[in-house]
Chains A and B, each alone.
Chain A
Amino acid sequence: MGNSEENKEKKGRYRTLVFIKGKTYAKEKDLDISEGEIATWPYLMRKELLAAIICTIVLIVWSILFNAPLEELSDPTMTPNPAKAPWYFLGLQEMLVYFDPWIAGVVFPMLIIAGLMIIPYVDFNPKGNGYFTFKETKFAMLTFCFGFHILWILLIIVGVFMRGPGWLWFWPWQEWDPHRVVAETNYDLTSFAGVKSDSFLGFMLGGAVVFGYFYAGISLPYRFLKRGKNMAIEKLGFVKYTIVAFLFLCMMALPIKVFLRLALHIKYIWVTPWFNI
Chain B
Amino acid sequence: MENQQKDTFISKYKKLVKEKGFFGAYFTLVLQSKVWGSVFRHGFSDTPKNRMLKIVSNVFLHLHPAKVKRHAPQFKFTWCMGGISFFLFLVLTVTGILLMFYYRPTVHDAYWDVKDLEYQVPFGALLRNLHRWAAHLMVITVWLHMFRVFATGSYKHPREFNWCVGVVLLVVTLLLSFTGYLLTWDQLGFWAVTVGTNMARSTPLLGHEGPFGEQLGMTSHNDIRFALLGGSLVGGNALLRAYVWHCIGLPIIISVFMMVHFWRIRKDGGISGPL
Interfacial residues, chain A to chain B (CB-CB below 8 A): 28, 30-31, 33, 35-45, 47-48, 51-52, 55-56, 59-60, 62-64, 66-76, 78-80, 83-89, 92-93, 100-102, 104-107, 113, 116-117, 119-121, 123, 125-133, 137, 140-141, 144, 148, 274-275
Contact = CB atoms under 8 A, between A and B. Distances in A.
B178 A80 contact: no
Contact of A44 (B73, B171, B177, B181): B73
Interface string B101-128: 0000000000100110010000001101
A85 B131 CA distance: 19
Contacts of A274: 211-212, 215
Interface in B176-193: 177-178, 181, 184-192
A101 B201 contact: yes
Given A60-B130, A76-B234, A131 B73 contact: no
Interface stretch (B12-20, B29-37, B48-56, B250-258): B48-56
Interface string B47-68: 1110110110000010011111
B151 A38 contact: no
A74 B185 contact: yes
Contacts, number: 240
Contacts of A83: 191-192, 194-195
30 contacts: A28-B49, A35-B70, A36-B69, A37-B67, A38-B68, A38-B69, A40-B51, A40-B64, A40-B67, A43-B68, A44-B72, A63-B126, A74-B186, A75-B190, A76-B190, A76-B234, A80-B187, A86-B192, A88-B139, A102-B203, A105-B199, A116-B167, A119-B155, A119-B163, A120-B164, A140-B153, A141-B150, A141-B151, A148-B147, A275-B204
Interface residues of B, number: 94
A120 B155 contact: yes
B273 A59 contact: no
A68 B49 CA distance: 47
Interface in B233-248: 233-235
A42 B159 CA distance: 27
Contact of B198 (A44, A101, A130): A101
A29 to B, nearest CB: 8
Contacts of B228: none
A120 to B, nearest CB: 4
A131 B87 contact: no
Contacts of B21: none
Q: Closest 7 A-B residue pairs measured CB to CB?
A: A105-B199, A74-B190, A63-B129, A120-B160, A68-B132, A275-B211, A130-B272
Given A66-B129, A129-B157, A131-B273, A41 B211 contact: no
Contacts of A121: 160
Contact of A64 (B47, B126, B151): B126
Contacts of A74: 111, 185-187, 189-191
B185 A89 contact: no
A47 B132 CA distance: 26
B197 to A, nearest CB: 10
A74 to B, nearest CB: 3
Contacts of A71: 186-188
B167 A117 contact: yes
A84 B193 CA distance: 9
B185 A59 contact: no
Contact of A39 (B67, B115, B215, B274): B67
Nearest to A276: B211
Best-surrounded residue of B66, B178, B195, B274 (most CB of chain A within 10 A): B195
Contacts of A104: 199
Nearest to B214: A274
B187 A130 contact: no
B196 to A, nearest CB: 5
A171 to B, nearest CB: 23
Interface in B130-144: 130-134, 136-137, 139, 143
